A and B are shown apart, each in its own frame.
Chain A
Amino acid sequence: MTSKKTLAQAIRGTVYVVGDNIDTDQIIPAQYLNLVPTIPGEYEKLGAHALSGLPAGCAPFVRAGSARSAHSILVGGRNFGCGSSREHAPVALGAAGVQAVVAQSYARIFFRNCVATGELYPCETDERLCDVFKTGDEAEIDLSANAIIRLSDGRRFALKPMGDAAPVIQAGGLFKFARKAGMIKS
């Protein structure tokens, strides 16, 4: 879906840290796929269940009874978003208030769905930041400078430039990009 919100170039908030191969079943378990992202009210419900498939023992990403997470930045390792093509995954994260994921690499469909929906920025880093950050750390992402800064000590980590995805994200997602490019009528 085309996001109604506009993502800022600077994102500030607390991070939630996960590891490698966070699959779409962990991001939004299949039992919630009966919710349709474009139906009013169900978008928010998807947010309430974001990351509820993480293994038992993980700190809840969204508190029980809440529809949004306290965290606006996710930090992961390799192959974030692997598995299903369910667009419910980036939508659930976006609906929970996540504005960016910072990971070493992404699964293809998840990355593409982030770009197409404009729900959140899939930022890549060379450095394994899931070993550097802790859940609850305050951070700021400066997309114009391709950097994430940990606010407690001012440490700065480089993000990779977004490459081919950048013009699509900058346009506001696939539909806005295609209209701008004259591919579809506005």
Chain B
Amino acid sequence: MSMTITEKILARASGKAVVKPGDNIWVKVDILLTHDICGPGTIGIFQGEFGKRAKVWDREKVVIIPDHYIFTADEKAHRNVDILRQFAREQGLPYFYDPGTPEYRGVCHVALPQAGHVRPGEVIFGTDSHTCTHGAFGAFSSGIGNTDAGFILGTGKLLVKVPRTIRFCLDNRKPGYIMAKDMILRMIGDIGVDGATFCAMEFCGEAINQLNLDERMTICNMAVEAGAKNGIIAPDQAVFDFVKARTQKPFEPLYSDPSAPVQGERRYDVSGFEPCVAKPHSPDSYAAARECGNVRVDRAYIGSCTGGKLTDFIAAAGILKGRKVKADTFLVPATREVADGLATATVDGKPLLAIFEESGCAKVAPPSCAACLGGPVDTFGRTSGRETVISTTNRNFIGRMGSKDAPIYLASPLTAAASAVTGHITDPREFMQ
């Protein structure tokens, strides 16, 4: 029987030859990811249910990446990292990326593949909704709560309902002014924030194959904004090269059968896409950027697992080079590796950091989730009043970045940078030839 990539991965992880959508199956977990927000509660569940002295099912498969509330004076935030620290020590966990040490990485969804924990064909669960990001590498990867994660810590397994697949084919080559963010905001705008609830979103087509891995991560990262269980892209040589450079562990990729039945298929001609935004307060509130020129922006924010990767900063720098920003512009690289890239990567021979400094951006913050989700009141870039923000992050729910009175427009780094320069929402084509 023909199956999709998602079905094949889940079948293999459950020891079955065939699974079909709707089947409830116990799957073996290859990686469990947690962080400082949900890790302490997950540990609380694990110890409460399995006992204070219980050991995790497999030390090699537990990855703890603190990233949310790191650069804050909040006492409980520090207490929570201490809980992770103690647990990692007690359990002898080899993959704990401790803040304040050279091991610290930054935002978990970008750090996880960079640190070599993502492999095609594997099953990843994480206590964060954006765990769907790792489908960009051909893995089944999905977000869960503390209780499910506590269960995995003890058993290495989880009861999963096999999702139906919706296939999104993005045909033709994308123009240079279109980024992955424009593509996924367009798809979410079409199907709505619950358009893929409980489903797998499988992305394919020439425009997807053309994307680098940073950009594929942006697409899969936002699958949850349409309600999906996972987003996934067939792995190719670019994925294999990236993964093999970062992990010795062997892996076996899986691919959809062309004849695999799917719940639906949507086709797009990407050559006709326009730079866009998602208007407040929902990621499905699609509008072309050129139609929003009357929206004044006080702040631009470039960061997060969605929009804080090196590709995102290179795109922004291409617009900002030789120009001054009118809006307050906050830059938060997702990880240390991205932050290092800001010093070494160049646009027209000029390092990104120099471009950002000359254009009048705020000093680049250390890597973390920062203001993407508001957080403690002293969080870098957090809104506190009526600031209108254009942001490369993933959610523009009311109050998401701190203040309920601060409207948030989601956009690509190109559109965010163009808008930072003009002080109003701007189609980046105005600055591109």
Contacts and interface: CB of A to CB of B under 8 A. Distances in A.
Interface of A: 1-2, 21, 23, 25-26, 29-31, 33-39, 53, 55-56, 78-79, 82-88, 90, 105-109, 112-113, 116-117, 164, 173-175, 178, 183-184
B162 to A, nearest CB: 12
B256 interface: no
Nearest to A185: B50
B128 A85 contact: yes
A37 B398 contact: no
B318 interface: no
Given A25-B399, A53-B399, A175 B375 contact: no
B227 A82 contact: yes
B346 interface: no
A2 to B, nearest CB: 7
B89 interface: no
Contacts of B77: 34
B229 A37 contact: no
Interface residues of B, number: 57
Interface of B: 24, 26, 37-38, 40-41, 43-45, 48-49, 68-69, 74, 76-77, 80, 83, 126-129, 131, 143-148, 150-151, 154-155, 157, 159, 161, 193-194, 197-198, 224, 227, 229, 282, 373-377, 395, 397-400, 402, 404-405
Contact of A53 (B48, B127, B194, B398): B398
Contact of A36 (B24, B80, B399): B80
B31 to A, nearest CB: 16
19 contacts: A1-B146, A2-B48, A25-B398, A30-B373, A31-B374, A31-B376, A31-B377, A31-B402, A33-B69, A36-B40, A85-B128, A85-B145, A87-B145, A105-B197, A107-B194, A109-B224, A112-B144, A112-B148, A164-B161
A87 B38 contact: yes
B44 A39 contact: yes
A185 to B, nearest CB: 9
A116 B148 contact: yes
Nearest to B151: A174
Contacts of A56: 404-405
B114 to A, nearest CB: 21
Contact of B193 (A21, A30, A31, A86): A21
Given A33-B37, A83-B395, A109-B129, A174 B148 contact: yes
A49 to B, nearest CB: 12
Nearest to A179: B49
Contact of A82 (B68, B126, B194): B194
The 4 closest A-B pairs by CB, nearest first: A38-B44, A87-B145, A34-B76, A113-B145
Contact of A184 (B154, B198, B399): B154
B286 to A, nearest CB: 15
Contact of A29 (B126, B143, B374, B395): B374
* Chain B CB within 10 Å, residue with most, of A33, A88, A107: A33
A83 B397 CA distance: 9
B198 to A, nearest CB: 5
B229 A108 contact: yes
B41 A1 contact: yes
Contacts of A23: 395, 397
A178 B198 contact: no
Contacts of A107: 194, 197, 227
B398 A55 contact: yes
A55 B282 CA distance: 14
Contacts of A25: 373-374, 395, 397-400
A35 B77 CA distance: 8
A174 to B, nearest CB: 6
Contact of B145 (A36, A109, A178): A109
A176 B131 CA distance: 26
